Amino acid sequence: MAFDLPGLRETFTRDGMVLLPGALDARALGEALGAWEWSLANPGPGASRFASHGEATFYQDLYNPRCLEGYTAMLQASPLPAIIADLWGAPDVWFMYEQVFLKEGGEARRTPWHQDSSYLTVAGDHLAVAWITFDAVSAADSLEFVRGSHRGVLYNGSRFELGDDTAPLHPDSPMPRLPDIEARRGDFDIVSYPVEPGDVVLFHPALLHGGAPTHPGARRRTLTLRFFGADAVYDERPGPAGPRLEGFHRGKKTGDAFRHEGFLKLAG
């Protein structure tokens, strides 16, 4: 599908996110679903279930060290790296890591407001998260963003504690505690999109975002793919932070090029 790339580039730079309707055709969507299913069948050390209400399932997995076994062919055939390179206006695109989610079986809690960059030792303009859902969701039940927040404060990560979404991941860190966005929604410029399978939402990992809960009888299967470009640099974080590649953090300091032989280059 052809996109208005100059317009999308301006929106992504200003707002931190864009919707790409129909970015994945039936083949690409099927291959992405196959990668998601591979992750569920091959859980890695990062697989976990978040505490939720009642009997609902809120499952995630990320940083599987075997990820490329199930993802390389899909990534190399995907239209996303070329779209992202055009969006950045820069040719080089590397794959950073995957994350899968499954919410089903009842009233699964919302994903707390957070910034992915709080958990990652990377900074730069050429960073993108591709959010892919395999189930149609309304705007009210979709991923939500605070428009333009990727240009603001980087907050402490959420501990995803049931009952306190702002509980800091690193209590002794100088990073400020997350604001209680859900309790003060009217104070923030919150945006969400209705999405159909094949649509992709791209956003900068420093953008504040959170996921709506699922409801009884509903299911949400989501795949997120994280990418970086040539301007990405190492940016130290308190405590252990991703990516989790063998030897990646050894000797690195803030400002160093964000590189490792374990990253799969997809464009450029």
Residue-wise pLDDT for 76-101, tens only, equals 999 999 999 999 999 999 999 999 99
Residue 268 lies in a domain: no
* Number of domains, the chain: 1
Tell me if 56 sits within 8 A of 105, measured CB to CB: yes
Residue 265 lies in a domain: no
Tell me the three-class secondary structure of the chain, residue by residue.
Answer: CCCCHHHHHHHHHHHCEEEECCCCCHHHHHHHHHHHHHHHHCCCCCCEECCCCCCCEEEEEECCCCHHHHHHHHHHHCCHHHHHHHHHCCCCEEEEEEEEEEEECCCCCCEEEECHHHHECEECCCEEEEEEECCCECHHHCEEEECCHHHCCCCCCECCECCECCCECCCCCCCCCCCCCHHHHHHCCEEECCECECEEEEECCCCCEEECCCCCCCEEEEEEEEEECCCCEECCCCCCCECCCCCCCCCCCCCCECCCCCCEEEEC
Residue 178 lies in a domain: yes
The pLDDT, as a whole number, for residue 230 is 97
The pLDDT, as a whole number, for residue 213 is 79
Residue 267 lies in a domain: no
Domain that holds residue 218: 5-239+247-260
At 136, which amino acid appears? Answer: A
Statement: the pTM of the whole predicted model exceeds 0.85: yes
Residue 157 lies in a domain: yes
- Residues of the chain where predicted confidence (pLDDT) is lower than 50: none
Residue 14 lies in a domain: yes
The pLDDT, as a whole number, for residue 216 is 81
The pLDDT, as a whole number, for residue 53 is 64
Residue 266 lies in a domain: no
**Kind of pairing between the strands at 122-123 and 233-234:** antiparallel
CATH number of the domain within which 123 lies: 2.60.120.620
The pLDDT, as a whole number, for residue 1 is 63
Question: Length of the chain in residues, anyone?
Answer: 268
Residue 33 lies in a domain: yes
Burial-class residue 148 by CB neighbours within 10 Å (0-12, 13-18, 19+): middle
